[in-house]
Amino acid sequence: MPASRSPVWVKEIEKELESYPRAQCYLVGVSGGVDSRVLLQILLDTGFNNLAICHLDHRLRGVASEEENQFIRRLAGRLKLPVFEEQVDQWPPKLSLETAARHARHRFFSRAARKFATKQVFLGHHADDQVETFLLNILRGTGSIGHAAMRNETRIMVDGTELIFLRPLLHIWKTDIREFAKKRRLQSFEDASNIENRFTRNRIRNLLIPEIERILGRPFKANLLRLSDIAAEESELLRQLTPSWWELAELPVRDLRQLPMALQRRVVHLWLTRWQICDVGFEEVDRVRSLLTQQEIAKVNLPAGSCCRRRAGKLFLAAQKEGEATKLQPQMNADGRQ
């Protein structure tokens, strides 16, 4: 497809990518699916030649996983790009599969970043992913609606390595991506598990969203995508008003108590996220906030065997069992955004 005949959305992405230096190395998360394949092609079309394909095999789909691995190796060979691949050998018992998989991917990308001496990672998340993520996090009771959606750019620290996740396709619908792949005759490896309904996200995609549209009598994903953008913009304003106490290992109770409730919740949410407390939602945030009114030493339990304690006018995180190693390490180096 000549550049002059590229869809408008492709030209807009190409314009957004103009500011990125072409000489430096970029990682590209490639699952084999059509989304990451199209992203990879757009990057190559716009002069990103110093790319490294990154693929993590979660080993959840048996033979299909190995077929996907082979597809990606052939793709990398055909494009003459280096490939960095690993497998997940075991899953932490205390974490949900989704949370454990996210942590595994972050650590995987941190190792790839160190190998290729870079920190920028292109990811193929698109508008449908955004809608599903936003809806899923709201239904789960996110601690902040502004954190329910993904961002075009996210900065995090993983094992001492800074990562910058870039999502150029975040406002592009899957149908447009498929149409681009069809016109360019791009091969991809479709994950058959996407149509199975044993995972919560798949049930939202395959069952809940179609049912909501049936009830409303019209599509609603575009409205939800707009709402996620508005929430992100308002969250950015709130971020500028939020004290940076969440970067500390301990929170000052007296100072935190003086803040408006919205800022209290935001500080606590960012603090828990920074210190890698998993699956932080409204319930976990308000559980910690309840300690602000406790006059005596108190403790509330949090996910994955951790807890928050109040002592000597401070809130701090620890293991639920006394004497147990905490293994809590700071994660976010910016503001906890996805």
Dump the DSSP string for 85-96: EEE-----TTS-
Most confident of 8-17, 129-138, 277-286: 8-17
- Structural domain ending residue among the three candidates 147, 165, 200: 200
175 and 252 together in one domain: no
- The answer to whether residue 134 is domain-embedded is yes
Which CATH number belongs to the domain containing residue 66 in this structure?
3.40.50.620
pLDDT band for position 66 (cuts 50, 70, 90): confident
60 and 179 together in one domain: yes
Buried b (16+ CB within 10 A) or exposed e, 14-50: beebeebeeeebbbbbbbbbbbbbbbbbbbeebebee
Question: Is 69:55 a contact under the CB 8 Å cutoff?
Answer: yes
**pLDDT for 333:** 44
pLDDT band for position 58 (cuts 50, 70, 90): confident
Question: Is 292:264 a contact under the CB 8 Å cutoff?
Answer: yes
**pLDDT for 325:** 46
pLDDT band for position 328 (cuts 50, 70, 90): low
**Alpha carbons 256 and 278: distance in angstroms, whole number:** 22
97 and 190 together in one domain: yes
**Between 167 and 141, where is the model more confident?**
167
**Between 14 and 62, where is the model more confident?**
14
**Alpha carbons 82 and 75: distance in angstroms, whole number:** 10
Render 160-201 in DSSP notation, one character per residue. TEEEEEE-TTTTS-HHHHHHHHHHHT------GGGG-SSSHH
Residue 26 gets which letter from DSSP?
A: E
Could you tell me the pTM of the whole model? 0.85
- The answer to whether residue 175 is domain-embedded is yes
165 and 55 together in one domain: yes
Beta-bridged to residue 164, according to DSSP, are 120, 155
- Structural domain ending residue among the three candidates 174, 200, 226: 200
289 and 164 together in one domain: no
Domain that holds residue 17: 3-200
Q: Which of 236, 248, 237 is nearest to 272 (CA)?
A: 248
pLDDT digits 0-9 by tens, 227-280? 999 988 888 888 888 888 878 889 999 999 999 998 999 899 888 888 877 777
pLDDT digits 0-9 by tens, 5-57? 789 999 999 999 999 999 999 999 999 899 999 999 999 999 999 999 999 99
What is the pLDDT averaged over residues 122-134? 96
Number of structural domains (the chain) is 2
pLDDT digits 0-9 by tens, 176-223? 999 999 999 999 988 766 677 878 889 999 999 999 999 999 989 999
Q: Is the pLDDT of residue 149 over 50?
A: yes
- The answer to whether residue 299 is domain-embedded is yes
- The answer to whether residue 208 is domain-embedded is no
Phi/psi at 140 (nearest 5 deg)? -80, -15
Residue 47 gets which letter from DSSP?
A: T
What is the pLDDT averaged over residues 97-108? 87
User: 3-state DSSP call for residue 157?
Assistant: strand
**pLDDT for 331:** 57
Which conformational region is residue 217 in: left (phi greater than 0), alpha (psi within -120 to 50 degrees), or beta? left
